[in-house]
Chains A and B, each alone.
Chain A
């Protein structure tokens, strides 16, 4: 990678020759010195050293603006910035070159500032401890969240600079770049080997004025306001004294520096809050307090359009999109090589990624019923929550595990939130569109499977969510779909390969209960918070039925909030499976509509001997057949009302449907569903073996 170095200079002759000589030893491809009106020998020194000198008017200088100018004038793939008093240490450039190989998205790197031999103990200790904290182990560190960046000594990938560029701010343009870079999906690297000798040592009053400038700049760029607090000052003096002891300072020097340290830290604690509040101070006061002599007014020339309010980076990037973008950019993590016989191994290591959940989620119930049974068969399972939308932000993993066991099924598996503890698996299972891209980014696995409960793009209007959900089916995961209809949709529209499984029924719970069946009651799963449940049509159908049969009793359930309905009815809210089994056992007819893949509800009604009505022309036929145990009706209130009325009026038809329904679902168990899913997992592994020509 070619490297250019840009050094902004003004009256920097004191150390400029040392800096440029040290740079020459590092052999960059290009050195540019931008002088903004030096009145000393800086320009001559730079020319002597062979640097390309660009001279600008002092009024044109701006920390961000001038660095943008330097970056635009040079040609290197890496652009290093040094200040006129930062002397690179040996190995500086090699460390930067290494830093950009540590991650595919490194946009910037920076290194430590080491004190010079004559630096005061307060500053020397602060520098050492400040930079040591970035790398406790002492090696280079890729940073994804830490925004600190310093243009005293930093290096940028040209592509990153071209995308972000320095803001034209009076101060702390580097900090702003650090925040902008992370927000744009780049990473940065702290490399301890990219060190420079650099320390600002001033008298106590100058220090205070410098801190005033520094915190005024932070306020302007990030909005940071430093609180006024003198507590802890003595602690800092104590730390300085301890450091001096460690460094072997003589007792007399320690005493002298301790006094300076007290003045230094107390001054800083006064100057920093003052700098943060600079906008409230008169300009003349700003100018007097500033070491730069700046009055705190705008540094940029007036713009035709007023500058917008500066807002620091805030919020987290949305993982739904970010992970999809990562897969788009870099492809999925490679799968492990197959080994002979892995598909037939008795015990598999299975990792299932779950989207966030709530009590009553049918999809999660299906998944957890299957996981508990896979565990009973000896498979080693783990559950990984992909907390999109931060629904479980305040829940710790132990609580998530407890809730999964409480809400759905008593899994033995540990539950992880995020993937920091990822340990690999034979098969990783994605279970919703939001979990597919995380699954694709996980390495250490031999196959990726997608257990598809529903055609999720239909949950969304035209949107990014819909587009990403559609893409997930074409990402090459082996799909195990919850109905033949769904399998066909995935195959025809997206070319997805896969198997199918049948949703099971908890027959211990859902069975005809010892209660007299009424002949006037329609129960309706009116979950109006879920658009695919077609509740407006269902309500219209019941209104029509009420007009035809005013004595019919209507019981609505499935949503905590009552639904608006122009006929008298009972609202049951959300009920437990046991309560529902009693409700289904005493009702006359059930109604459950699904505009995408069918849900468990009709099967559970049938298991309790309750004849029910579902939508025709979607997925129910693929399970129950066109003339099976379920009454099918078009998405039309009159047709649905007619189907319900037929069952209410015709006892013989009702009893026939009830008998056939019980017989039909008798074989639909979670054990059978688990057989099918397990076969699908093994099929996916076998396909991997076959694709490699592995012979067991």
Chain B
């Protein structure tokens, strides 16, 4: 049997190689996007990380939900007051 691949095999080989190259390119692009996202997140979270603040863990603590509710209530009072003032403003 001849060791050289036939024309059909060569075509298939070329097709597979092209597919591998395309997948490799896609992998590089995905990795580049993932790296950029992680780097951007690290930049955004720099001060939190520097002060060792894990907001997710913080918000799991007892009282965190109540604290958020209190903030929302204060914000609601502020907004409502401003709205009423606007309504009755001359």
Instruction: Give A residues with C-beta under 8 Å from B.
Output: 339-342, 345, 347-349, 380-382, 394, 396-399, 401-402, 412-415, 423
Q: Are A414 and B52 in contact (CB under 8 A)?
A: no
Least Cβ distance of B61 to chain A in Å?
Answer: 16
A349/B31 contact (C-beta < 8 A), A339-B24, A340-B17, A398-B49 known:
yes
If A342-B24, A399-B49, A413-B35 are given as contacts, then 19 extra A-B residue pairs at C-beta distance below 8 Å, sorted by A number, are A339-B20, A340-B20, A341-B21, A347-B25, A347-B28, A349-B27, A349-B28, A349-B31, A380-B35, A397-B42, A397-B49, A398-B41, A398-B45, A398-B48, A399-B46, A412-B35, A412-B36, A413-B39, A414-B35
- The answer, among B17, B48, B52, for a CB contact under 8 Å with A394, is B52
Pick from A339, A380, A399, A414: contact of B28, CB under 8 Å: A380
B1-46 at interface with A (beta carbon < 8 Å): 17, 20-21, 24-25, 27-28, 31-32, 34-36, 38-39, 41-43, 45-46
How far, in whole Å, are A341 and B17 apart by their CA atoms in the complex? 9
The 5 closest A-B pairs by CB, nearest first: A414-B38, A398-B49, A396-B49, A398-B42, A414-B39
- Judged by a CB distance under 8 angstroms, whether B50 is at the interface is yes
On chain A, the residues within 8 Å of B48 by CB distance are 398
Shortest Cβ distance from residue B43 to the other chain A in the assembled complex, whole angstroms: 7
- Pick from A339, A342, A382, A402: contact of B35, CB under 8 Å: A382
Which B residues are in CB contact (< 8 Å) with A347? 25, 28, 32
User: How many angstroms between the C-alpha atoms of A633 and B90 in the bound complex?
Assistant: 89
Q: Is the CB of A380 within 8 A of B31?
A: yes
Tell whether A396 pairs with B28 under 8 Å between CB atoms, given A339-B20, A401-B39: no
The residues of B that contact A394 with a CB separation of less than 8 Å are 52
Find chain B residues with CB under 8 A from A399 CB. Answer: 46, 49-50
A339 and B16 CA atoms in complex are apart in Å by 11
Question: Using Cβ atoms and an 8 Å threshold, which residues of chain A touch B38?
Answer: 414
Task: Report B-chain residues with C-beta under 8 Å of the C-beta of A396.
Answer: 49-50, 52
B binding-site residues for A, Cβ under 8 Å: 17, 20-21, 24-25, 27-28, 31-32, 34-36, 38-39, 41-43, 45-46, 48-50, 52
8 contacts between A and B (CB under 8 A): A342-B24, A380-B31, A398-B46, A398-B49, A401-B43, A402-B42, A412-B36, A414-B35
How near does chain A come to B5, taking the closest CB pair, in angstroms? 12
Closest to B21 in A: A341
Q: How far is the CB of A380 from chain B (nearest CB, A)?
A: 5
Pair B43/A398 contact, Cβ less than 8 Å: yes
A340 contacts across to B, CB distance below 8 A: 17, 20
From residue B21, how far is it (CB to closest CB) to chain A in Å?
A: 7
Nearest A-chain residue to B47, judged by Cβ: A398
- In the bound assembly, the distance between CA atoms of A398 and B39 in angstroms comes to 8
Chain A neighbourhood of B50, CB < 8 A: 396, 398-399, 402
Q: Which residue of B lies closest to A348 (CB)?
A: B28
- CA–CA, A394 and B51, complex, Å: 10
Residues in A with CB closer than 8 Å to B35 are 380-382, 412-414
In angstroms, Cα B48 to Cα A394, docked, is: 13
CB < 8 Å: which of A345, A412, A413 contacts B24? A345
Bound: A413/B42 CA distance, A: 10
Nearest CB in chain A: distance from B62 CB, A: 12
Residues in chain B near residue A402, CB distance under 8 A:
42-43, 46, 50
Contact B32 A380 (CB under 8 A): yes
